[in-house]
């Protein structure tokens, strides 16, 4: 009887999904995603779209923070660059939405590289604080340059259309969202099987050692900033088109913190974790709000505390994960898999995926 997974050729050994069970799960997940919009209510579709956008943003942030080890508090700023670039290109220059989204991604990558420049000299905590400065500076530019960005006023984004259909309905956007999120996940998964991705990880694990074995540390960090910001910009641009309306309040430091929480709770440096974290952090306040509405009649005093409960729950989730499961939801998921892998025996598989 076969007592493990044995690959007999390189193709299966190097595949992203190496075991039939993994392919089966992926297939089931894809099927569920295809069926979902036909069954779900607009409320759930809206949440799913938010999760899709958040997944793209979280994957982007994870490339920088989880895989390259450069802590960034500038996520909100980079999303703002993506959102405003795409919105303004369509609004002022009349570019089609597809073009302006791509342009926004590259613009955000450029801004990311610019604010990644301090990583030449800084690392760890100091770099984190310099990205905090980036966040504040971008926010200031957005709110104090009304000629370009509309200042503190909201910007209305023209609705994207495909084959004459509006795309920013919950149903239409869902397909854009999951395709792009899937593509981002696939790209990220493959990135870290390539030479460039491996050098990201080498820089994270020990930058000086990485430079000794011939990795150009500074160049790698800048590339990580660019790649990460590219996807963060994509998330920002999608936010703009999905919401139809953008204002600076959507891209504050709180946004940065939210995304950091996603990758911490999901699991640093994992693709699955980015999805899990994005889902949990998006669903948590929504679920609490639903519970609050239920309580509106029976206990209005409790319902009034809703914002505090949401904020406290957000903080508690971060703290509890860091204290009890620092590797996040993706590790919990692996524990479950490992348990069933050898079920009904109690011993655990040691290494492996």
Partner 1 sequence: MDQFLQLTVAGLGTGMIYALAAVGFVIIYKASDVINFAQGDLLLFGTYLVFFFLVQVGLPWTAGVLLTMLVAAGIGLAVERTVLRPLIGEPIISMIMVTIGLSSVLRAVVHAIWGPQPRTFPSFLPEGEVMLGSAVVSADRLVAIPLALALLGGLALFFRRTRSGIAMRAIADDQQAALSMGISIPRVFATAWALAAATAAIGGIMLGNIVGVTPNVAQIGLRVFPVVILGGLDSIRGAVVGGAIIGLLEFYAGGYIGHGLNLIVPYIVLIIVLMVRPYGLFGKEIIERV
Could you tell me if 47 and 174 are in contact, meaning their C-beta atoms sit under 8 angstroms apart?
Answer: no
Please confirm whether the linkage preceding 344 is cis (ω < 30° from 0). Answer: yes
Residues 58-97 that bind partner 1 (CB under 8 A): 65, 71
Tell me how far, at minimum, the Cβ of 311 lies from partner 1, in Å: 4
Which is nearer to partner 1, 159 or 327 (by Cβ)?
Answer: 327
Give the span between the Cα atoms of 172 and 142, in whole angstroms: 30
Residues 6+ apart with CB under 8 A from 36: 44, 48, 174
Which is nearer to partner 1, 86 or 256 (by Cβ)?
Answer: 256
Contact status: 205 vs partner 1 (CB under 8 A):
no
Tell me how far, at minimum, the Cβ of 166 lies from partner 1, in Å: 37
Tell me how far, at minimum, the Cβ of 234 lies from partner 1, in Å: 23
Contact status: 308 vs partner 1 (CB under 8 A):
yes
Residues 217-256 that bind partner 1 (CB under 8 A): 253
Residues 250-269 that bind partner 1 (CB under 8 A): 253, 257, 260-261, 264, 268
Residues 6+ apart with CB under 8 A from 140: none
Residues 6+ apart with CB under 8 A from 63: 188, 191, 200, 224, 227, 228, 231
Tell me how far, at minimum, the Cβ of 98 lies from partner 1, in Å: 34
How many Cβ atoms from other residues are within 10 Å of residue 191's Cβ? 16
Total residue count of the chain as it appears in this document: 353
| Contact track, partner 1, 163-202, x by CB under 8 A | ----------------------------------------
Please provide residue 162's backbone torsions phi and psi, each rounded to the nearest 5 degrees. Answer: -135, 125
Which is nearer to partner 1, 211 or 244 (by Cβ)?
Answer: 211
Alpha-carbon separation of residue 205 from 70, 129, 263, 271, 278 (angstroms): 11, 20, 18, 18, 25
Alpha-carbon separation of residue 228 from 79, 206, 350 (angstroms): 11, 20, 32
Which is nearer to partner 1, 42 or 124 (by Cβ)?
Answer: 124
Residue with tokens 């990485």: 210
Could you tell me if 71 and 131 are in contact, meaning their C-beta atoms sit under 8 angstroms apart?
Answer: yes
Contact status: 146 vs partner 1 (CB under 8 A):
no
Contact status: 279 vs partner 1 (CB under 8 A):
no
Contact status: 21 vs partner 1 (CB under 8 A):
no
Give the span between the Cα atoms of 301 and 290, in whole angstroms: 16
Which is nearer to partner 1, 96 or 307 (by Cβ)?
Answer: 307
Among 208, 213, 301, 346, binds partner 1 (CB under 8 A): 208
Which is nearer to partner 1, 209 or 342 (by Cβ)?
Answer: 209
- Of residues 216, 224, 236, 225, the one with CA closest to residue 157: 236
Tell me how far, at minimum, the Cβ of 216 lies from partner 1, in Å: 18
Contact status: 327 vs partner 1 (CB under 8 A):
no
Could you tell me if 295 and 302 are in contact, meaning their C-beta atoms sit under 8 angstroms apart?
Answer: yes
Could you tell me if 314 and 285 are in contact, meaning their C-beta atoms sit under 8 angstroms apart?
Answer: yes
Which is nearer to partner 1, 102 or 132 (by Cβ)?
Answer: 132
Residues 112-141 that bind partner 1 (CB under 8 A): 118, 121-122, 124-126, 128-130, 132-133, 136-137, 140
- Of residues 205, 239, 219, the one with CA closest to residue 84: 239
- Of residues 46, 247, 239, 251, the one with CA closest to residue 137: 251
Contact status: 209 vs partner 1 (CB under 8 A):
yes
Among 311, 335, 342, 353, binds partner 1 (CB under 8 A): 311
Among 14, 196, 305, 336, binds partner 1 (CB under 8 A): 305
Q: Which residues are near partner 1 by CB under 8 A?
A: 65, 71, 118, 121-122, 124-126, 128-130, 132-133, 136-137, 140, 143-144, 206, 208-209, 253, 257, 260-261, 264, 268, 305, 307-312, 314-319, 322-323, 326
């Amino acid at each position: 009887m076969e007592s493990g997974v044995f690959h007999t050729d390189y193709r299966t050994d190097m595949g992203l999904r190496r075991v039939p069970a993994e392919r089966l799960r992926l297939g089931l997940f894809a099927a569920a995603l295809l069926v979902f919009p036909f069954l779900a209510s607009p409320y759930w579709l809206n949440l799913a779209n938010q999760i899709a956008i958040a997944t793209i943003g979280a994957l982007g942030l994870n490339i920088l923070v989880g895989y390259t080890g450069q802590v960034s508090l500038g996520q909100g700023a980079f999303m703002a660059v993506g959102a405003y670039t795409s919105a303004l290109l369509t609004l002022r220059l009349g570019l089609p939405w597809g073009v302006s989204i791509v342009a926004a991604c590259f613009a955000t990558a450029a801004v990311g590289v610019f604010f990644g420049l301090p990583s030449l000299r800084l690392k760890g905590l100091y770099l984190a604080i310099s990205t905090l400065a980036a966040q504040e500076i971008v926010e200031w530019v957005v709110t104090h340059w009304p000629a370009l960005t509309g200042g503190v006023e909201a910007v209305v984004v023209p609705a994207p259309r495909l084959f004459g259909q509006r795309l920013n309905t919950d149903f239409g956007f869902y397909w854009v969202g999951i395709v792009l999120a899937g593509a981002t996940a696939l790209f990220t998964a493959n990135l870290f099987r390539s030479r460039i991705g491996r050098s990201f990880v080498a820089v994270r694990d020990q930058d000086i050692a990485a430079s000794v074995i011939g990795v150009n540390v500074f160049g790698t960090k800048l590339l990580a900033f660019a790649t990460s910001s590219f996807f963060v910009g994509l998330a920002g641009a999608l936010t703009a088109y999905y919401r139809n309306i953008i204002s600076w309040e959507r891209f504050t430091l709180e946004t940065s913190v939210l995304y950091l929480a996603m990758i911490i709770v999901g699991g640093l440096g994992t693709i699955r974790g980015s999805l899990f974290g994005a889902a949990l952090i998006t669903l948590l306040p929504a679920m609490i709000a639903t519970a609050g509405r239920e309580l509106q009649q029976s206990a209005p005093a409790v319902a009034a505390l809703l914002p505090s409960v949401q904020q406290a729950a957000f903080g508690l989730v971060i703290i509890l994960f860091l204290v009890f499961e620092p590797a996040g939801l993706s590790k919990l998921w692996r524990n479950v898999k490992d348990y069933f892998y050898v079920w009904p025996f109690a011993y655990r598989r040691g290494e492996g995926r």
